[in-house]
Structure 1
Amino acid sequence: MKMTSIKMKNILEERLKNPDWNISFNRDKDVFRVEWKETKQGISITIPNVIAKYEQRGEDALQDLEYHVVEALQIMNQTHELTGKEKNIFPVIRATSFPTKTKSKKKLIYSDHTAETRIYYALDLGKTYKLIDEEMLHKEGWTIERLREISTFNVRSLTSEPRKDPVAGNDFYFMASQDGYDASRILNESLLEEMKANSTGELAVAVPHQDVLIFADIQNDMGYDILAQMTMKFFAEGRVPITSLPFIYEDKKLEPIFILAKNKPTKNNQPKGEE
């Protein structure tokens, strides 16, 4: 018998019972929400996505979902300090369309990066991380400059061992360590300069989603087409998509480019996005 949204809603309600949580279901949008009664902080879950995973993986999919929801809600309800945890602070790359406030209206700390991307800052909690907001920063008496310096130093300390894959006379390098900060490595300037120094042609860089960083040593026009297709594929499949546009790295700058099939790329001169 086919799983319906109402059936899945009932299953999730049973699995996520907690006297301290409110559970609601938006029938029009097919969205199931669990939140703390006191703070109203919580998680929204798209029911059709859960059904799709359930049909693929069965009970395992529901166990995974329950674990991640409970873990995330517990983290939301804890007080987190930055002082003493400096080694656990990292930058994370997000699209410019990513929210600048939490659902509870707290302003997130971010810096401009490119026309397509922004830099947010995260406190690593082991199995997950919490994005740093203004309230956390002010409570500690920290400046955004200090946050930026610490996080940039930490991202440089991450291992960077790309896998090389030659395709049609071009060299592609993939970083996918699955530590949550693969895309963040684009902020490691020494890594970018090293890749540039070792490239034969033009160096392109892509961060289609959070868990991959792609370098491309483009040596012929076909390389641009391959990079465009590859970036779009990763973007569509990513758990946290960032941008389907690659960048050309030149003069220590990242310029977003549109790649037209069978043509050289054109630079994207759009202004920096703001919420």
Structure 2
Amino acid sequence: MKMTSLKMKKILEERLTDSSLNTKYNREQDTLRLEWKSSNQGVTIKLPNIIAKYNERGEQAIDELVDHIHESLKIMNQSYQLEGMEKQIFPVIRSTSFPTSSNSGAELVFKEHTAETRIFYAIDLGKSYRLIDRVMLEKENWSDKQIDEIATFNLRSLEQSYKVDTVADNDFYFFAKQDGYDASRILNDSLLEEIAGMSKGELAVAVPHQDVLILADIRNKTGYDILAQMTMKFFTEGRIPITSLPFIYEERKLTPIFILAKNKPEDKK
């Protein structure tokens, strides 16, 4: 039986029933919003995206979404302090279109990264995390530089293991620990330098969604085509998409590139 938005809406409402929550269905935007009655904070679900994942993975996709929503709503209903939680603070990569304020209107703390990405900061809470806003920062009298230094230091302590696939003489390194900070590893300069030192061609980097970092030793034109197709596929499938554009890593700098089919990119301004 074909899954429709109304059927998916009904399934989610049944799975996420709670007397403390309001549910709102927007037919025009095809979204379902769940929010706390007490604060109006909540999450908005794009139903077509969930239906696509359901068609591909079945009930598992719904189970994962429900778990994620439960965690997100629980975190919204609690207050957190930074003091004493320094070891649990990490950077997270998001697209430049990602909101810079929380649903409650608090400004999130962020730092510019590339033309396609920004760095936000989060308190790790085990199954999920809470993005750090400026109110939390000001309560502790912390500076942006201080939170960035703490988060960057903690990032370097994460495991850096990877899987390597060689396709058409190009090496692709995949970081996918599923710890919430796979894409964040793009900020680890020593890691990028290590792979760059091993590379025989040009090093390309991609963060299509939160849960994967791809480093690619590109040695021929085919490698660019493979990377472009791979990045787009990951981008469309990711729970938190970041960017479908890969980057060239050169002299410790990341430059977004457009890859034309069967052609090495010529414009790297």
Q: TM-score, normalised by structure 2?
A: 0.91
Structure 2: distance between partners of 1:207 and 1:63: 25
Offset, 1:34: 1.5
2:216 aligned partner: 216
Structure 1 residues 133 and 268: CA distance shift in structure 2, 3 A: farther
1:33 aligned partner: 33
Instruction: Report the AA paired with residue 115 of structure 1.
Output: A
Instruction: Report the AA paired with residue 196 of structure 2.
Output: K
Give the match's secondary structure for 1:226: helix
C-alpha RMSD of the superposition: 2.1
Q: Does structure 2 conserve the Cα–Cα contact (< 8 Å) formed by 1:209 and 1:242?
A: yes
Offset, 1:16: 3.2
Q: TM-score, normalised by structure 1?
A: 0.89
Offset, 1:149: 0.2
Deviations 1:103-137 (A, max 9, x none): 22111111011111111111111001111111111
1:114 aligned partner: 114
Structure 2: distance between partners of 1:57 and 1:264: 35
Q: Does structure 2 conserve the Cα–Cα contact (< 8 Å) formed by 1:116 and 1:243?
A: yes
Give the match's secondary structure for 1:40: coil
Q: Which runs of 5+ in 1 are unaligned?
A: 270-275
Q: Does structure 2 conserve the Cα–Cα contact (< 8 Å) formed by 1:209 and 1:241?
A: yes
Q: Does structure 2 conserve the Cα–Cα contact (< 8 Å) formed by 1:171 and 1:218?
A: yes
Structure 2: distance between partners of 1:11 and 1:33: 14
Give the match's secondary structure for 1:266: coil
Report the count of equivalent residues: 269
1:16 aligns with 2:20: no
Q: Does structure 2 conserve the Cα–Cα contact (< 8 Å) formed by 1:258 and 1:266?
A: no
Offset, 1:140: 1.4
Structure 1 residues 106 and 163: CA distance shift in structure 2, 3 A: same
Structure 1: distance between partners of 2:80 and 2:181: 20
Offset, 1:46: 2.9
1:265 aligns with 2:261: no
Give the match's secondary structure for 2:119: strand
Instruction: Report the AA paired with residue 157 of structure 1.
Output: S
1:166 aligns with 2:161: no
Structure 1: distance between partners of 2:249 and 2:156: 18
Structure 1 residues 99 and 231: CA distance shift in structure 2, 3 A: same
Structure 1: distance between partners of 2:215 and 2:62: 36
Instruction: Report the AA paired with residue 131 of structure 2.
Output: L
Structure 1 residues 176 and 53: CA distance shift in structure 2, 3 A: closer
Offset, 1:268: 5.6
